[in-house]
Structure 1
């Protein structure tokens, strides 16, 4: 098990946790936002969770307000929005920063393992996705424009 899976995180309902506590064979970590053009991807992320959770996929959403202030709500507001509008039942975590000096350690490690386009150390926008194997190694980083459904082949390969 790698350091990445053990990095402390706080769930949206304020419990101490980590990706390791989710007990997956694969993890899809996404920085999310409720007022973004990509927000409808919540539906696709939930579909991946429903289709693959019994096989070991864990989807983890980390709300972030760093891009266009598109996640201004409180934890309760975010949780309610996701559940009511998109039926989200996969684990959500407390709002984090993903870039800069206050970036959450999980995202620091995700970006270290999988830099962006041309080696960029930053995350460019909401709904950047990281597919992580059961040992805590980032297998692939996906752009915000990549629809969740397009990840199925990579998820299948990790879970087989």
Structure 2
């Protein structure tokens, strides 16, 4: 099963946008992400629907962040992307008649639910401002 990397890509794009003066086109973001501009537009459109970014048409147009970096959390971004599955692993059969498989499912489902709740709670406490500050620190360390 292929992993969903949209959250990572969105974070990458948004951090580039915080460092860029003015809007960034889908083509420019595509170059940053090594992604097709169509994929960038589709993904950024989800963030626009959530009120986190806006797009302007025309020669000086592109995507820009409209939300406050201090309040936008990874959890909000995960939700804006449609809450993709957290884990690429799961039960072999969701409704088994076999009692052994029912026991296995019960154990796995509990563990998956606990892990997902923990991860989503962590996502709720990490903001775009936190990531931007970490990037700035790393950039400063590399250039000193």
TM-score of the superposition, structure 2-length normalised?
0.29
**Structure with max Cα Rg:** 2
Return the structure number with greater helix share. Answer: 2
TM-score of the superposition, structure 1-length normalised?
0.27
